[in-house]
Structures are given as structure tokens and as C-alpha cells.
A = this chain, B = another copy of it.
Amino acid sequence: MKQERLSTRIRRRAVLEAALDCFAEADVESVSIAEICDRSGASVGSVYHHFGNKEGILLALLSDGLTAHLEALEQALEQAEGHPRACIEALIDSLIQWVEANPRWAQFIYSYLNRSGASSSEPILEINRRYKQIIEQHFEPLIQSGRLRELPTDCWSSLIVAPTHDYARRWLRQQVRHSPSTHQRLFIEAAWRIVQCD
């Protein structure tokens, strides 16, 4: 693990910070390196030195963001200690908390994942794998033991977390007024209605 210089860390942070600001105002595709340079005070050369290319910035942002999110999720699920309802709560809560704590970041990620080839890049696949693994690790036992309803794997996220994601996305775009946490109980309860056994 190479020791990173302080100046390197600062510079990287400044660029990523500036990039997030840009992405909050425009689509990923329509933000130019030049804009990011202007905002961050870095020169073009410097940006390329640190990130290789534009995609490098995006991936750095993406994996930092998702990693943070995943860790929060994992921690929350640990604390749920295998109680079905608590697990669902952990899932939704950590999602809402993260989005509200990192709105620019969240918006960028939603935006990035909508890009055509997004899901085929290795870092994304890697994150996806880790996400699936975490989910499986905590929910599989509950399903096996009959304490949660079994759902087709492919549908799981659409049924359980998509509603919250959808609302969050609309909130970030200012299409709805109230923050996701306003309706936190509702989203949890909705998810619960789906997964609970009859």
C-alpha cells in the first residue's frame, strides 16, 4: 500500500469535490474536464496525472461513494442481528440516511448508473457483487427459515428498495418537496408488506 503524499490527497479531494458540484448542476456527459479544472483550481494536466482520464474521476467518485454506502449498510445489518423486521428497517434506513447525508454524491451515482454502458464496467460489477453478497448473507437465512417470504432474486431489489430509490431520485431532482426521511416509516412498512409471510 503506497504511502500517498499529502498534496496528492488534497488535490484529489479538491477535484472530486469540484466534480460533484458540477454533476449536481448538469448531466455527467455534459460536464467538461475544463469545468472541473476551473472549479477545483487544478490544471488539466494535474487532473490527468491523478485520474488518468475522465472516467477515472467518475470511477473514483463512484467507488468511494458506493463503498461508503455499503459499509454503512453492512454495519446497520449487523446491528439488526437477524431480526427480519429490523433487517428491512436497516436496509431502508441506511439508504435514506446516506442519500440525505450525501445528496450530491447520490445524485451523481443515480446519474452515472443510468449511462448506457455503466453496468458493464468492472468496478461497478465488483460493487454489485459485494452488494448482492451482503444482502444474501443477511436475508438468505431469514428466507430459508421461512421468516421472510421468498421472492425471485431478480425482483428483490425492484420490490424492496426501488420505491425508496425512486422517491429519493425525485427528491434530489426537486420533483417532490419532502425529504425521503419524511416518509421513512412508510417506505419501511411498504417493504415489510412485500416480504412478510402471509
**Interface residue ranges, A against B (CB under 8 Å):** 25-27, 29-30, 111, 114-116, 119, 151-152, 154-155, 157-159, 162-167, 170, 173, 175-178, 183, 186-187, 190, 193-194
User: What chain B residues lie within 8 Å of A177 (beta carbons)?
Assistant: 154
Q: With A and B bound together, what is the CA distance between A193 and B194 in angstroms?
A: 7
Query: A27 touching B163 by the CB < 8 A rule?
Result: no
Copies in the complex: 4
Given the contacts A27-B115, A27-B116, A166 and B162 also touching, CB distance less than 8 Å: yes
Query: A152 touching B183 by the CB < 8 A rule?
Result: yes
Q: Which residue of B lies closest to A114 (CB)?
A: B114
A interface: dominant SS: helix
Query: B30 touching A116 by the CB < 8 A rule?
Result: yes
User: What chain B residues lie within 8 Å of A173 (beta carbons)?
Assistant: 119
Query: A114 touching B116 by the CB < 8 A rule?
Result: no
A-B contact pairs, 25 of them (CB 8 A): A25-B116, A26-B116, A27-B29, A29-B30, A30-B116, A111-B114, A119-B175, A151-B186, A152-B186, A154-B170, A154-B177, A154-B178, A155-B167, A155-B186, A158-B164, A159-B186, A159-B187, A162-B162, A162-B163, A163-B163, A165-B166, A166-B166, A190-B194, A193-B194, A194-B194
Q: Which residue of B lies closest to A154 (CB)?
A: B176
Q: Which residue of B lies closest to A173 (CB)?
A: B119
